[in-house]
Amino acid sequence: MSVDVKEKTEVRLVFMGAAGVGKTALIQRFLQDSFEPKHRRTVEELHSREYEVAGVKVTVHIMDTSGSYAFPAMRKLSIQNGDAFALVYSVDDPESLEAVKSLRKEILEIKEDKLTPIVVVGNKADRDGERQVSAEDVLATVELDCNSCFLEASAKENANVMEVFRELLQQANLPSRLSPALCRRRETFPKNSGARPPMNKTNSCTIS
């Protein structure tokens, strides 16, 4: 009996991290090109956008999760349903980096796949004067493999926000024939307001 395998035309990106690190701000900047400085507590929100790529409709779901550990069942479900994960910490909050380390471990345990796509994001990179977490701290604390990467961003200044989503989409295992078209589609996303050099970005492969 032959099975008609349809190409994957939906992808779910899941944003996770401690409370107040700017998960919602990054998503809002990407979807609406706006920034709300006041922190708003999020329990769980799902945003969906449909794009037409090479004549095929591709739906991108973006899950904004709670920074609270009071919802373990909800968090587990988000991980089970996710295709790629943005683990967000704030460069002025060392404890939020510890949360990323814990979340990465939980994702790999639940997904049972070491190559689950993960992008570690250091948000609030505009706060250089209050920085307490360096890129070296991240690389020493969070083990990155061949399907993960690390970069810094600023939702406030719209720095590297598009790059976060490009990395997530690139790693989300979309059909190969859609990938080049999706790359072209991503280039039409709103550009950063000012030209700036890339912020800290690292891809690292661990060979054991």
- Convert the pLDDT of each residue in 144-164 to its tens digit: 777 788 999 999 999 999 999
48 within domain boundaries? yes
148 within domain boundaries? yes
Please give the pLDDT value at position 70.
65
Please give the pLDDT value at position 69.
65
Domain that holds residue 31: 10-203
| Residues with Cβ within 8 Å of residue 106, at least 6 apart in sequence | 75, 79
Total domains present in the chain:
1
208 within domain boundaries? no
Average confidence score pLDDT of the chain: 79
> Is it the case that residue 180 has pLDDT exceeding 60?
no
- List the beta bridge partners of residue 104: none
| Residues with Cβ within 8 Å of residue 93, at least 6 apart in sequence | 18, 20, 21, 132, 133
Higher pLDDT, 5 or 155: 155
111 within domain boundaries? yes
Please give the pLDDT value at position 9.
78
Three-state secondary-structure class, residue 205: coil
DSSP 147-180: TEEEEE-BTTTTBSHHHHHHHHHHHS---TTTHH
79 within domain boundaries? yes
Please give the pLDDT value at position 200.
52
Please give the pLDDT value at position 201.
52
| Residues with Cβ within 8 Å of residue 102, at least 6 apart in sequence | none
166 within domain boundaries? yes
2 within domain boundaries? no
> Is it the case that residue 198 has pLDDT exceeding 70?
no
Around 131, how many Cα atoms within 13 Å sit in the side-chain half-sphere? Answer: 16
User: Mean pLDDT, to the nearest integer, of 108-120?
Assistant: 91
> Is it the case that residue 105 has pLDDT exceeding 90?
yes
3-7, 34-38, 84-88, 175-179, range with greatest mean pLDDT = 84-88
109 within domain boundaries? yes
Quickly state the pLDDT bin for 130 (edges 50, 70, 90).
very high
CATH number at residue 15: 3.40.50.300
Least confident of 103-112, 134-143, 185-194: 185-194
